[in-house]
Copies of this chain bind each other. A is one copy, B any other.
C-alpha cells in the first residue's frame, strides 16, 4: 500500500507523462463520457469533418491554458510530430516572407519540389542546442543532439547546433562565470545564424534540457535568444514537451523568463496527454489549405483527456502546489547534498517546482537502489538523476522520498 502510494506520486510517471496520478476520478469521468465514446468509435478526420464538440474540447481545455501571446493551436499526436509541424510552419513562413505576400508559386518551384530539389525543396535550417532532445522523426531527430543511440545510422539534415550554457553550481557563487558562459553561447547562436551555409528559419530550445541532463539557463539567456531571433527573423520555438503542464511550478516553463515578447511557437505533449503547438502570429497559418494537414490531425479522444487534465490542474491549483512543494523538497535535497557532497553534486532546479536534478557518480546504480526501496526515479544526460513526480506530489510524500534517497546514498 505504501509502495503503491509512493509509486503513484513520486515515480518516474511513464517518462514524465502522467500528470495527475493513476486512476484519477476526473479523468475517469472524462473517459466514460458520451463525447469520449463518440471520439473513439467515430474517429474524425479533424481537418475536414470536426465533430460538433471539437471546438468545446479545445476551448475549455488546451486553449484555456494557452501561453500568453499564443492563442491559436494546431493539434498532433506526439511531441516529435508537434515539433515537426512547428518546423514546417517556420519554413513556410520564412519562404512566404522571402517570396513576398501574395506572390504565387513558380512552375519551377512546383516541379522541383516533387523531385526534392531546389528551389521548391529549399535548403533551410532549424538551429538547436547541444544535448537537446526534440524527438525522433527525421526532422525532429535532426534537431536532437542528446545521445548517439537516438541518432546513429539515421540520415539527418545539415542543421547547426549551438552550445547550451554549462552553468556552475551553486549559481550565486558562480554568477560572473555563468553570465560569461551564457554570453558565449548567445554569441555562438548569432554567429551560426548569420554564417550558416543556408538560412536558419527557426530555432528550437527547451526551457530545461531534460533528456540531455536537466541543464538550466537563466531568464537573461532566453531573453537573449528572443532578441537574436527577432533581429534575424528566425521563428523561436519553445519545446515544452517535458516542461509544460506545471512541473516547474508555472504552467509553462518559459513563463519563468518574463520575455519582452512571447515565443513564436510553443510545443507540448507528455503531461498534456495529447500534443500540438500554440502560436500567435496569424501568418504562421499557411497561406493555402492542405499545406499543414494530415488525415487525423491529432486525436479528439486524447484531446478530451487533456481537457480533463486541465480541469483537474486548475480546480486543485496543482501548479501552485508544485511550486510550494518544490521549495520544501529542494531544501531537503540541499541537506542531502551537504551530507553526501560526492554523491549529490550540482543540485539544480531551485524555484522550478519539483523539476529538480543532481549529478552523481553512478546514476544507474542509485536509481536501481531506489527502485528496490519502492521508488522509481529516472536518469538523464550521463551523470544525472532527475525527479519527475506528478503534480499530485505533496509535502507528505517528501519524507518518504528523502529517507529512501538517504538510505540509497548511504549504502553507496
Q: Which residues of A contact B (CB under 8 A)?
A: 14-15, 17-18, 22-24, 27-28, 30-32, 36-37, 40-45, 48-49, 77-81, 84, 87-88, 91-92, 94-96, 105, 109-111, 113-117, 120-125, 130, 135-140, 142, 145, 147-159, 161, 269-270, 273, 288, 290-291, 293-296, 299, 301-302, 305
Contact B138–A139 (Cβ < 8 Å):
yes
Q: Other CB < 8 Å A-B pairs besides A91-B154, A114-B148, A120-B152, 14 of them?
A: A14-B44, A17-B43, A22-B42, A27-B41, A79-B295, A80-B294, A92-B153, A114-B145, A116-B158, A120-B148, A121-B151, A137-B137, A137-B139, A138-B142
Contact A49–B121 (Cβ < 8 Å):
no
Contact A17–B42 (Cβ < 8 Å):
no
For the complex, give the distance between the alpha carbons of A43 and B27 in Å.
11
Inside 8 A of A81's CB, which chain B residues have their CB?
77-78, 80-81, 137
Inside 8 A of A113's CB, which chain B residues have their CB?
148, 151-154, 156
Inside 8 A of A151's CB, which chain B residues have their CB?
113-114, 116, 120-121
Contact B41–A291 (Cβ < 8 Å):
no
A sample of 19 cross-chain residue pairs with beta-carbon separation below 8 angstroms, ordered by A number, consists of: A14-B45, A15-B295, A17-B296, A23-B41, A77-B78, A80-B81, A80-B294, A81-B137, A110-B148, A111-B148, A113-B151, A116-B151, A116-B156, A122-B153, A138-B140, A152-B291, A299-B302, A301-B301, A301-B302
Q: 10 smallest A-B Cβ distances: which pairs?
A: A138-B139, A31-B40, A95-B153, A77-B77, A14-B45, A116-B156, A110-B148, A138-B138, A121-B156, A113-B151
Contact B77–A15 (Cβ < 8 Å):
no
Closest B residue to A16 using CB positions: B295
For the complex, give the distance between the alpha carbons of A137 and B294 in Å.
10
Q: A318 to chain B: closest CB distance in Å? A: 17
Inside 8 A of A302's CB, which chain B residues have their CB?
299, 301
Inside 8 A of A77's CB, which chain B residues have their CB?
77-78, 81, 299
Contact B299–A270 (Cβ < 8 Å):
no
Contact A31–B27 (Cβ < 8 Å):
no
Given contacts A294-B78, A294-B135, contact A88 B43 (CB under 8 A): no
For the complex, give the distance between the alpha carbons of A269 and B296 in Å.
10
Inside 8 A of A130's CB, which chain B residues have their CB?
114
Inside 8 A of A14's CB, which chain B residues have their CB?
43-45, 48-49, 295
Inside 8 A of A142's CB, which chain B residues have their CB?
116, 138
Q: A354 to chain B: closest CB distance in Å? A: 19
For the complex, give the distance between the alpha carbons of A294 and B44 in Å.
25
Inside 8 A of A161's CB, which chain B residues have their CB?
114-116
Contact A31–B23 (Cβ < 8 Å):
no
Contact A28–B41 (Cβ < 8 Å):
yes
- Among A27, A295, A301, which residue has the most Cβ atoms of chain B within 10 A? A295
For the complex, give the distance between the alpha carbons of A154 and B117 in Å.
10
Contact B22–A31 (Cβ < 8 Å):
no
Inside 8 A of A117's CB, which chain B residues have their CB?
158
Closest B residue to A121 using CB positions: B156
Q: Which of B43, B136, B299 contacts A18 (CB 8 A)?
A: B43
For the complex, give the distance between the alpha carbons of A114 and B146 in Å.
7
Contact A17–B295 (Cβ < 8 Å):
yes
Q: Which of B30, B110, B120, B149 contacts A291 (CB 8 A)?
A: B149
Inside 8 A of A111's CB, which chain B residues have their CB?
148
Q: Which of B37, B44, B49, B273 contacts A43 (CB 8 A)?
A: B273
Q: A71 to chain B: closest CB distance in Å? A: 25
For the complex, give the distance between the alpha carbons of A291 and B49 in Å.
36
